[in-house]
Amino acid sequence: ETGVTQTPRHLVMGMTNKKSLKCEQHLGHNAMYWYKQSAKKPLELMFVYNFKEQTENNSVPSRFSPECPNSSHLFLHLHTLQPEDSALYLCASSLAGAATEQYFGPGTRLTVT
């Protein structure tokens, strides 16, 4: 148990659907991250929040919309996705910035049909 939970664990959605991924951390951390993990590719950082403020948007298409209502919760809102967006979406948190240990959740396996 890493202290970072993600729901749902699996999600299948059509290209016209709207869905949201949820991440929650119980570690008292101040930074939260969304990563995309695709086969044969490095983990790709998508968004970073520090103290609820977005500090990184790594050129992510607008069909992905993050939300961080407080330091413990992070959402990723999805709409009009493409099949190439199918991947494992990982949430992570760290006490401070990216140069401190990041704790990852188990991920949401997303399939876009």
Partner 1 sequence: GENVEQHPSTLSVQEGDSAVIKCTYSDSASNYFPWYKQELGKGPQLIIDIRSNVGEKKDQRIAVTLNKTAKHFSLHITETQPEDSAVYFCAAFRSRGSEKLVFGKGTKLTVNP
Edge-first strand listing for the sheet containing 73-79: 4-7, 18-25, 73-79, 64-70
Figure out which of the listed residues 16, 53, 69, 99 binds partner 1, where binding follows CB under 8 A: 99
Phi, psi dihedrals of residue 86, rounded to the nearest 5°:
-60, 125
Q: Which is nearer to partner 1, 4 or 68 (CB)?
A: 4
Site for partner 1 in 37-96 (CB under 8 A): 40-43, 45, 48, 55-56, 58, 90, 92
Rounded CA Rg of the chain: 13
Phi, psi dihedrals of residue 26, rounded to the nearest 5°:
-115, 30
Q: Which is nearer to partner 1, 16 or 99 (CB)?
A: 99
The site for partner 1 (CB under 8 A) is made up of: 2, 4, 40-43, 45, 48, 55-56, 58, 90, 92, 97-99, 101-107
